[in-house]
Structure 1
Amino acid sequence: MRTSNSFFHGLLPLMLLLLSIVAATIFFTASSAEIIVVHGAHPRSHQSDSIISANGSQILDTRAPGNTIVAPASEEVCAKAWNKGYTLMCWMQNPQMAGAQAFSPFTRFQQLADWGWTAQGGQPIHIGGNWGTYADPGLMALLGHPMYGQSTGHQAVIYHTQPRGPVVVDGRQITYPATMASYDNVFIADKGVIIAAGNWGPAWRLAVGHLPGWNHNTDRLPDLRQLSDIWWLLWEQVCAQQRVRPSELRYIVSKDTINDETNAIFARILQMYWPNEEGIARGIAPKWPGKRITKEMDGFPTLVGTPSVWGAAYMLIQRAGTMGRKEIKSITVWNENQDVQRFYQPNIMIEVGDV
């Protein structure tokens, strides 16, 4: 093949431009917290978000490159998830079946501030532009190319920095201390997409001992703490700003999911349908387009009942009065970090549609 100096002189600026784009993408989409980020969705129950684990190390075996293993969940764990997921599927079909859990008392954006949620440093909540971009092929399929298709997103990072109280409840004086919990999500209203980037709930921080001095007799977690409520209040606010109907929600994506229980259950369901594929045999989801499980498949309710999916179901159930009856149609899982052996952080795409 014939080459010339002029060829390389013409190619070099292009190569430098591409390297700059890659570097900018990494800078804006990655952070030190992203490696240990938790993506969980929490039911409106006493369990709250306390079941979300801090990292995925318990299910990893990194003996050698290419040998990362996610141990599949036990039959008992999967049976419990199936029961929960099947119940949620019924409730999505008919929210009235959920009784008191079909409704949420949190319907106004101002309630976030009322319960101590702020932007960083205690400033009022600000929903800004999404300056990060996603080079992952699955997210590009939803959002478009990073260079020109992802600029309409809005990022909201909120922190629980303000205490509430003391107040008297049932004759007892209680306080709602600041927990420094944080929720980081991106909302692309015109494309109907929510991306869960990093969510650490108040109950999780209490469960792992991040709240020293907590008095279980007088201290309480904020009532407004469920991810399903956080998602809704921010989604509705962004939709109002962008003049998009909230009912146009199409996908919720849990990015870089490391919840132990979720990943173990997904490993078992993937092995149930595709047992002979090399990566799946080790509990690892394949790269995009990944594996798609639809609601007609036997393993689907089990996935709906995982900690990283059930919050989406609760939001659809509780907001049916505004969005109309909607349900989870399919769940797609893929692993964009095929060459990374120290951790396993799959992406989970939850497809939303009308009942």
Structure 2
Amino acid sequence: MFDVYITRAGKYLPNEPVSNDDMEGILGLINETTSKARRIVLRNNGITNRYYAVDKQGNITHNNAQLTHNAIKELYDEDFTKNDVELLSCGTASPDNLFPSHAAMVHGLMDNRPIELNASSGVCCAGMNALKYGFLSVRSGNTKNAVCTGSERSATWMLANKFNNEIINLKSLEEQPVIAFKKEFLRWMLSDGAGALLLEDKPRGEISLKIEWMESYSYAHEYEACMYAGGDKLEDGSLKPWQDYDAEEWLKQSIFSVKQDVKLLDEHVMRLGSLSTKNALDKHGVNPADVDYLLPHVSSNFFGGKLYQALLANGVDIPEEKWFLNLSRVGNVGAASIYLMVEELMNSGKLKKGEKLLLVVPESGRFTYSIAYLTVC
């Protein structure tokens, strides 16, 4: 078994940062009406800037594969080129196509040579699942290196024109032409971007991050879906998939929109996240006091204080001055968020050899959690 190190980190955030006041101008007005929910959601999530792969004129500028490839290119130099990559492992919740896989589409842009591919689906944990695949490959000696990515292109899912047919349908039924909060909520939460990490079996440069371990926990056997797309939830909590709807219903009911059961989220996401973190630390005999930096992927600052209290309730006391967050500056980028945090901290000049980093990523899709423990080398 080989040690595994994150030796380089790259990112790509498209176009200029988008302020809260500029969001609706880019995403558009649903039913030509200013959103009543926007200010409430933004006040709670604390995000002040985010990035969209859509310019201010409404033109789409990048697809997901292009965002990911641009982040990967940040890993290259004369000592490590595209032809040195042995494994590409990509995670996203918003691939450009149902198939070929997201990893295959990214590899097509790399224009290098035959390599091993892995594509991880899901929501926020898709990026961590991609990282774990690369970690296990290098650790086992299957490959000497792996490029792992997390990326999202969510803005195009949230454009107002995606909801036009549902509004027309509601009007024809003489119902109030208002999109359900479970659909509109995420219009003000999600953004675009990509991060990439190079994993190798030896440290490189001034700073590397040794991956000590990674753990994942799913609670899908206990709880129904909380965040979903490409289907709709029935009264019994099950999901009816898009293939089972007539084609005209896809538009009339915005079946492909991203939806969030906010009540279910608030009830379970922090409690299960703190329990998973506790279990992972106990399994590996890690004292929370030894953690120098906690990098929690929280979708909203609203959950920051709740997460701290939930961790305390499980005996995990990591003071908030040890937390590293960039949510307000880059937005909630789903599977890419943890990559963007690692990249920013790794390249900040703040890290000192021997320090410990704890990564905690929740996924509200059906409540999955990924935790990783790193040592600065």
Calculate the TM-score normalised by the size of structure 2.
0.28
Q: Which of the pair has more CA radius of gyration?
A: 1
Calculate the TM-score normalised by the size of structure 1.
0.30
